[in-house]
Amino acid sequence: MNRFDYIRPVSVPEAIAAAAVPGSAYLAAGTNLLDLMKVGASRPERVINITRLPGLDRIEWLPDGGVRVGTLVRNSDLAYDERFAKTFPVVAEALLSGASAQLRNAATVGGNLMQRTRCAYFHDLAGACNRREPGSGCDALGGENRLQAVLGWSEHCIATHPSDFCVPLAALDAIVEVEGPHGGREIALDTLHRLPGATPEQETALLPGELIVALRLPAEASSFSRNARYIKLRERTSYAFAVVSAAAALEVEGGTIRKARIALGGVAAKPWRAREAEALLEGKQATAQAFAEAAELALAEARPSGDNAFKIELAHRIVTRALSLALEGTPQAMPALPASPFPALSGANHVI
């Protein structure tokens, strides 16, 4: 680990001023950053601890029924908040499927949004990685790549984004509130993370020194609360990153799909919103055939990036499964194994 300056600001403006210096990094729980620093994959010269900034650890319900979640709210606290879990159950299920209970108790909302890829070549300094060292190459292209991206990848990077939390957030049109050297702004969660293209080192839409201060879910997202599921296939059901995951949310009336939301995880460098598949479903009868067609369209641009062609078929099945479970209805109680594709607990069948 390299030597670094450690700063603990007492206000958001002070934190932003400190982070404006090149080579700076914000620190919250550190469940990702500290690991990267230990192996040398991240080498900040200034670490700005934001854990004591006032007002960033609150869950605030908005007058229109939406919710604003501070960047320092812990993952477990959000997932177990009774009103939040009832209003946005697909988000709570995704949170509870991520990492271990100990990590969820420490990890923060903002840190989850900003976590970096778990690609082994990014973490291994002996490997070439364009994300870590631009222009060095991508050893994953010809290496162990069975878990790498099948959507949106480029010859410069085939890494995937690891977050579970971000997948339903992308599906539900979440907004990220940011403060920076030039003031505040809002970023759609769906555009926060970038595809690699020729510049994989530019992982997000954040500008230097900008700090995520809150996440906001619109009131409209609550309309999916009765028919929404997050499904995650992993190599260890107890805790592991997704091989493939999907969030599906439906509004169904008389057997007809009025609105649909679909996003995939584990398949690209960002949560993958399947807007064309959503549009295909809207106005159709909620049938297995319709779900299969939507899954096909959601993966229409997929192509293997090495030894991972199986992920394309797997993603088809996970999307179909997520839609089918969403149609059955959101469970009245959280499953014992959240996000499992083979739940013992069925939904409440909230189809009008």
Distance CA 206, CA 202 (A): 9
pTM: 0.96
pLDDT at 348: 56
Range 67-91 burial, b when 16+ CB lie within 10 A, else e: bbbbbbbbbbbbbebeebbebbbbb
Closest to 68 (Cα-Cα) out of 190, 228, 183, 218 = 218
**C-alpha–C-alpha distance, residues 298 and 312, integer Å:** 10
How many domains does the structure of the chain reveal? 1
Q: How many C-beta atoms surround the C-beta of residue 331 within 10 A?
A: 17
For residues 266-276, give the mean pLDDT: 98
Helix (H) or strand (E) holding 258: strand 256-265
User: What is the mean pLDDT of the segment spanning 326-352?
Assistant: 76
Query: Is the pLDDT assigned to residue 98 strictly greater than 70?
Result: yes
pLDDT in tens, 135-193: 999 999 999 999 999 999 999 999 999 999 999 999 999 999 999 999 999 999 999 99
Report yes or no: 59 and 70 within 8 Å, Cβ to Cβ. yes
CA angle 97, 100, 102 (to 5 degrees): 130
The CATH number assigned to the domain holding 306 equals 3.30.390.50
Is residue 274 in some structural domain?
yes
Query: What pLDDT digit, counting tens, does each position of 61-73 carry?
Result: 999 999 999 999 9
Does residue 86 register a pLDDT over 80? yes
340 located within any domain: no
Considering the domain boundaries, does residue 15 fall inside one? no
Residue 251 lies in a domain: yes
Q: How many CB atoms lie within 10 A of CB 181?
A: 14
User: Is residue 291 pLDDT above 70, yes or no?
Assistant: yes
**Are 120 and 144 spatial neighbours (Cβ–Cβ below 8 Å)?**
yes
Closest CA to 298 of 167, 155, 146, 157: 167
Least confident of 9-23, 109-123, 233-247, 308-322: 233-247
Distance of CA 67 to the CA centre of its chain: 18
Q: Mean pLDDT, to the nearest integer, of 90-110?
A: 95
Residue 80 included in any domain:
no
> Cβ distance 62 to 304 under 8 Å?
no
Residue 260 lies in a domain: yes
Q: Could you list the residue range(s) of the whole structural domain that residue 300 is in?
A: 223-328
> Mean pLDDT for the chain?
95
Q: Would residue 129 count as lying in a domain?
A: no
For residue 291, tell me if it sits in a domain.
yes
